[in-house]
Structures are given as structure tokens and as C-alpha cells.
């Protein structure tokens, strides 16, 4: 979204990490560092809220995603509320703060680090590797479905665009971008899993559930969108869709329906299902999820009872080591 947004989110992530380290060190060493950690985390939450509010125009006008624009719009006030709750005593929010730090360290290098040249050696941007790998796998799925669009260079300079030739001769390009890789969702789950206090083996088990499912669903989603848009399979209610998204190009209708409506709503359902599966492997995650629901609703929720999940693992070995 721009250099200023990139700088802001890096500062926010570093503040979250500093707060987490301060709280962890104080707890382990017996030193009273809670107030310092609380102030640092509170500042990070305020900055995080400003970041989300600043991103609303991007999601609404440039990305044309009403779902993501809405989430960013409510994310700002939710972060400010988290800052208030943490500062006034809800210490469980330190877990979510640590989680956001981990999410940032996973996601931001791919989002913000450009291609560089060191000693005459050109190093591509990290995002290029991930996007082009996703593009290749997406191409396998498209081919398996019986289609063969041309693979051409994207506006970013990557081999990550499937070019379709329609029956009327019109050329329609479907670009594979960072969002198609599932990196955002992978970063979210990795951060949450890393932040809770649980044995390492169960954390790894939870990652083994979340990461492959997210990646596989995303490449199938990307292939579905490419096929639907490249063949104009969902040219439904074009006037209404174009009006809703502020578009005038009728060739965009199938893309908007398949991606912005069907895929994004489906992603919400899929993420809820993955969260349930991960929570079965890592019940400690319930504390974080309950904090998120508290920020959204202002009320405490008992997910243990609602989802019929154990608060503690059922079959832990005696003396299992806890990791923070």
C-alpha cells in the first residue's frame, strides 16, 4: 500500500515483539516488567489500528474487496479497544500480541522486501519465488481440468499471468499475486500456534494440519478463479455486479463473481473449519480465540463449551515441557 504503510506495520510488529519479549523475560526472571510490557503492547495496538484504518481505501477502491475493506474498517476500532483492555488489565491479550509479532515476521518479508543486487548478484524479491511456485502448481490444476492458457509475464515482472483467449478473440489475463499463495492465512495460524504456551510437538502437529490445507485450498481457489474468469463461466447478473463493484468492463464480471464473492465467502467458511481442526490439536488456542471474540462483541465467550473442545489436552505425557 506504499512505503509509509510498510514502515508503520514494521514498527508495529517490532513493538509487539518487544512487548512479548519484555513480558516473557519478566515472567521467567521474576522481575516486575509488566508495566513496561503493557505500555509497549498498548502502543503497538494503537499503531495496528491506524494501519488497518489507513488500508480501507486500498481494499475498497483498488482491490475491490468489500469483505476485506469491511474487516479492515472494523479492525481499526477493535485494535483501539484491545489497546484499552490490555492497558487496563486484560493480560491474556499478551498472547495475541505475541501472535501478531510472529505473523508479521512471516508475512512482511514477502510483502515489503524488494529485489536487490549484492556484489553483482541479483536476488529476486522473496515474493517472486512464492508467487511463481504457486503459479506453476495452479497451472498443473488448470491443465488437469483440460485447459491450456498461455503463461506470460505479470505486471510485477514475474512469470505469473495466465492469458486466456476468449471465443470472441478478446484476451483476458488472470494475474497470480501474493494473496493467491495463502501466505496471509498461513502467517495468521503460524503466529497463533507459536504464541500459545504448549508442548512443541503439539504445536508442530497443529501446523501440520493448518499449513498444507491452507496452501492446497488456495491453489485450487486460484485455479477455479482463473478457469471461471478465463472462460467467462460466471457472467451472472452483469449489470448488478458491475454496479456493485464500480466497474464498467463486462469481461470482469466472471472474475468478480468467482473471486470477490464466491471465493472470499468460501474462504471465511474454510478458515472457520481449519480453526476448529487446529483447536482440536491445540486447545490452548481457545484463549486467543476468546480474546478475539471479546474484542468484537464486548462479551466473554466460552468456546470450550460451545465447540465441545477440551481446555487442556486429554493425553499429555507426565512432565511434558511447555514452550512459550
Q: How far apart are CA 102 and CA 159, in angstroms?
A: 30
Is 180 considered catalytic here?
yes
Q: How far apart are CA 225 and CA 161, in angstroms?
A: 13
Q: How far apart are CA 44 and CA 24, in angstroms?
A: 17
Active-site residue (options: 98, 127, 221, 260): 221
Residue ranges with strand state E in the chain? 116-118, 121-123, 150-153, 159-165, 171-175
Is 202 considered catalytic here?
no
| Lookup result for grid cell 506470460 | 152
Active-site residue (options: 79, 180, 202, 260): 180
Residue 303 · residue 309 · CB < 8 Å: yes
Say if residue 87 is exposed, middle or buried (CB neighbours under 10 Å; 0-12, 13-18, 19+). Answer: middle
Residues involved in catalysis: 180, 221
Amino acid at each position: 500500500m506504499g512505503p509509509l504503510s510498510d514502515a508503520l506495520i514494521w514498527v508495529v510488529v517490532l513493538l509487539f515483539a518487544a512487548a512479548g519479549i519484555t513480558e516473557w523475560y519478566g515472567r521467567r526472571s521474576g522481575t516486575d516488567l509488566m508495566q513496561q510490557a503493557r505500555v509497549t503492547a498498548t502502543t503497538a495496538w494503537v499503531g495496528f489500528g491506524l494501519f488497518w484504518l489507513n488500508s480501507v481505501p486500498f481494499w475498497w477502491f483498488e482491490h475491490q474487496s468489500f469483505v476485506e475493506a469491511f474487516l479492515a474498517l472494523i479492525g481499526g476500532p477493535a485494535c483501539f479497544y484491545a489497546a484499552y483492555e490490555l492497558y487496563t488489565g486484560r493480560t491474556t491479550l499478551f498472547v495475541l500480541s505475541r501472535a501478531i509479532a510472529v505473523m508479521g515476521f512471516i508475512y512482511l518479508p514477502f510483502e515489503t522486501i524488494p529485489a536487490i543486487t549484492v556484489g553483482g548478484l541479483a536476488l529476486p524479491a522473496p515474493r517472486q519465488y512464492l508467487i511463481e511456485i504457486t503459479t506453476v502448481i495452479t497451472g498443473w490444476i488448470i491443465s488437469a481440468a483440460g485447459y491450456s492458457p498461455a503463461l506470460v509475464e505479470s505486471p510485477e515482472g514475474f512469470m505469473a499471468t495466465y492469458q486466456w483467449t476468449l471465443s470472441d478473440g478478446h484476451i483476458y489475463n488472470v494475474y497470480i499475486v501474493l494473496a493467491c499463495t495463502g501466505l496471509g492465512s498461513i502467517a495468521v495460524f503460524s503466529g497463533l500456534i507459536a504464541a500459545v504456551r504448549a508442548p512443541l510437538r503439539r504445536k508442530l502437529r497443529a501446523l501440520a494440519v493448518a499449513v498444507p490445507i491452507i496452501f492446497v485450498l488456495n491453489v485450487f481457489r486460484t485455479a477455479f478463479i482463473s478457469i471461471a474468469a478465463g472462460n467467462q463461466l460466471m457472467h451472472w447478473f452483469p449489470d448488478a455486479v458491475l454496479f456493485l463493484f464500480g466497474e464498467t468492463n463486462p469481461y470482469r464480471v466472471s472474475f468478480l463473481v468467482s473471486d470477490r464473492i464466491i471465493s472470499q465467502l468460501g474462504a471465511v467458511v474454510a478458515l472457520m473449519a481449519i480453526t476448529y481442526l487446529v483447536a482440536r490439536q491445540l486447545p490452548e488456542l481457545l484463549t486467543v480465540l476468546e480474546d478475539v471474540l471479546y474484542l468484537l462483541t464486548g462479551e466473554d465467550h466460552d468456546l470450550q463449551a460451545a465447540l465441545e473442545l477440551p481446555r487442556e489436552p486429554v493425553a499429555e505425557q507426565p512432565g511434558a515441557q511447555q514452550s512459550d
